[in-house]
Amino acid sequence: MQLIKLTRIAVPVLGTAILFFACQKNDIDKIKAFSSPENLPILEATNFETISTDSGTVRFSLKAPKLLRFENDGKTFHEFPEGLLLIKYDENHKITSSIEADYAKEFIKEEKWEAKNNVIVTNEKGDSLKTEHLIWDEKNETIFTEEYVKIISADKIITGTGLTSDQNMQNWKIKNPKGVIYVEVDNKNRPEQTDSNIQPAKAETNDPVISTTPPKQAVNFN
């Protein structure tokens, strides 16, 4: 009887021990996987600033609060977890476009960039593209997205889903346009754009009612 009682006690204790060690092993495996060198950046920089030149001429400038460099499975990429501001210049050091986002990645070998969350692309004229996800193909000098887009220019706002464009946002096409909102602009009080700063156009966060033809009285965004 004592042997039976001891066996009955030993079985639950053994089961508990196995469960404990299994959980402990799983936790250890998770910790090892998380702390694996493959999942850790090989380089970290804060308040990062750099310029890219071609034959002595500045072509790009990049500013980011934080930069992380990873090398996984032969792939090298930079991550900007706190966002970035990337500005492109022409041969006369005049700004032709800029990209701003709350998060971004640069894939070195593929020569591609991915931007997410509050992405704003501004061209030389001051027109702005706003979206939540954008791919920049640096090699082919194109940008594209499959997400909702809003293009804000001096006299209208165009919305739709999906977009392809050259990297300077000069020749763009919305795949599924939704409509156009015409706005009235006071050019007398509009500040002139300088070469050192591109100011994206402003608009309401939520789109007003979309119309496909200009209204009799233009909508004024102050």
Query: For every one of its 222 residues, what pLDDT tens digit does the chain have, with 9 covering 90 and above?
Result: 454 444 454 445 445 454 444 455 555 555 444 445 557 899 999 999 999 888 888 889 999 999 999 998 888 999 999 999 999 998 888 999 999 999 999 999 999 999 999 999 999 999 999 999 999 999 999 999 999 999 999 889 999 999 999 999 989 999 999 988 887 655 444 434 444 444 444 444 444 333 333 333 333 322
Encode the chain in three state secondary structure.
CHHHHHHHHHHHHHHHHHHHHHHHHHHHHHHHHHCCHHHCCCEEEEEEEEEEEECCEEEEEEEEEEEEEEEECCEEEEEECCCEEEEEECCCCCEEEEEEECEEEEECCCCEEEEEEEEEEEECCCCEEEEEEEEEECCCCEEEEEEEEEEECCCEEEEEEEEEEECCCCCEEEEEEEEEEEEECCCCCCCCCECCECCCCCCCCCCCCCECCCCCCCEECC
pLDDT of residue 185: 56
pLDDT in tens, 83-115: 999 999 988 889 999 999 999 999 999 999 999
* Half-sphere CA count of 198, side-chain side, radius 13 A: 24
Residue 172 is predicted with a pLDDT of 93
Q: Residue 196's pLDDT is what?
A: 42
pLDDT at position 205 is 41
Asked if residues 166 and 173 have their Cβ atoms less than 8 Å apart, the reply is no
What is the predicted pLDDT for the residue at 147?
96
Query: Measured in whole angstroms, how far is the alpha carbon of residue 193 from the centre of its chain?
Result: 25
Distances (CA, A) of 2 to 5, 6, 7, 56, 185: 5, 6, 9, 90, 94
Structure confidence at residue 221 (pLDDT): 29
